[in-house]
Amino acid sequence: MKTSRKRRDDLCHWNYRLYREQFGDVTEITIREVYYDASGRPSGITERGVGPMGESPEELREDMAMMMSAFELPIITDADFSEASKGTE
C-alpha cells in the first residue's frame, strides 16, 4: 500500500529509506517515508520521493539528518512489502 503523509498516525512508526524502482532500462532511487506495522515489517510508503522540510532552519537540519540516516540502511523495493500491502491509494 502506498500511502500519503496523512496516514502516519495509522501506523506504528516510520523512517526515511532509499527506495529503488525500475522503469524499463532506467533505475531510479528516491528517499521515501516508509511506515511499519507492529511487527516491524514495511507496510506503507509515500507515493513519491520526499524532500526535507521544517518550520525553522533547525527543524530543516534535523529532517535532513534523518534523511541522511537512510543511506545507512539497505535500499528497499516493492519486494520488501507483503503482497497484501502492495498497491496504490
Residue 88 has pLDDT above 60, yes or no: no
Looking up cell 517515508 gives 33
End-to-end CA distance of the chain: 7
Which tens digits make up the pLDDT trace of 38-82?
888 898 999 999 999 999 999 999 999 999 999 999 999 999 986
CA 29 vs CA 21, 22, 37, 76: distances in Å? 6, 9, 23, 9
Task: Return the pLDDT at 25.
Answer: 97
Q: What predicted TM-score, i.e. pTM, was given to this entire model? A: 0.77
86 vs 81: CA distance, rounded Å: 6
Which tens digits make up the pLDDT trace of 12-36?
799 999 999 999 999 999 999 999 9
Task: Return the pLDDT at 38.
Answer: 87
Residues with Cβ < 8 Å from 43, sequence gap 6 or more? 1, 11, 35, 36, 37, 81, 82, 85
